[in-house]
Structure 1
Amino acid sequence: MTLRELFQHIGENPNFILFYFLIIPIAAIIAGVLGKGEGHLSPWKYLYSALIYLVSVPGIFAVALNAYFFLFQRGDVMQTDVYLQILPIIVMVLTIFVIRRNVDLSLVPGFDKISGLWFMLFATMFLMWLLEKIHIVVFSYLPFQYLLGIFAILFALIYLGWRKFVR
Structure 2
Amino acid sequence: MTLSQLFAYISENPWPMALYFILMPVIVWITGLVSTGSRDVKFWSYVYAVLVYAICIPGIFAVTLNIYLFLFERQSIWQTNVILQFLPVISMGLSLMLIKSKIPFSLIPGFGKISGFLTLITALIGVMWFFDRIHLVAFTYVPFTVIIVGFVLTLLAIRFAWSKLF
Q: TM-score, normalised by structure 2?
A: 0.82
| Alpha-carbon distance in structure 2 between the residues aligned to 1:51 and 1:99 | 9
1:73 aligns with 2:73: yes
| Alpha-carbon distance in structure 2 between the residues aligned to 1:131 and 1:118 | 20
| Alpha-carbon distance in structure 2 between the residues aligned to 1:23 and 1:8 | 22
What's 2:156 paired with? 159
| Alpha-carbon distance in structure 2 between the residues aligned to 1:30 and 1:49 | 15
Code of the aligned partner of 1:61: F
What's 1:135 paired with? 135
Q: Name stretches of at least 5 consecutive residues in structure 1 with no aligned partner.
A: 141-150
What's 2:15 paired with? 15
What's 2:101 paired with? 101
Kindly state the Cα deviation for residue 156 of structure 1 after the two structures are TM-superposed: 3.4
Kindly state the Cα deviation for residue 155 of structure 1 after the two structures are TM-superposed: 4.0
Kindly state the Cα deviation for residue 44 of structure 1 after the two structures are TM-superposed: 0.9
Post-superposition CA distance 1:69-128 (Å, at most 9, x none): 010011111000001111111111110000000011011111011111111111111111
What's 1:25 paired with? 25
Report if the CA contact (8 A) 1:39-1:45 is conserved.
no
CA spacing shift, 1:26–1:157, aligned 2, 3 Å? farther
Q: TM-score, normalised by structure 1?
A: 0.81
| Alpha-carbon distance in structure 1 between the residues aligned to 2:32 and 2:41 | 12
Q: Name stretches of at least 5 consecutive residues in structure 2 with no aligned partner.
A: 140-148
Code of the aligned partner of 2:14: P
| Alpha-carbon distance in structure 1 between the residues aligned to 2:40 and 2:128 | 38
SS in 1 for 2:91: helix
Post-superposition CA distance 1:5-53 (Å, at most 9, x none): 2101101101110121122211110111111254870221111101110
Code of the aligned partner of 1:18: A
CA spacing shift, 1:22–1:157, aligned 2, 3 Å? farther
Q: Percent identity?
A: 39
| Alpha-carbon distance in structure 1 between the residues aligned to 2:119 and 2:136 | 27
What's 1:6 paired with? 6
Report if the CA contact (8 A) 1:59-1:89 is conserved.
yes
1:85 aligns with 2:82: no
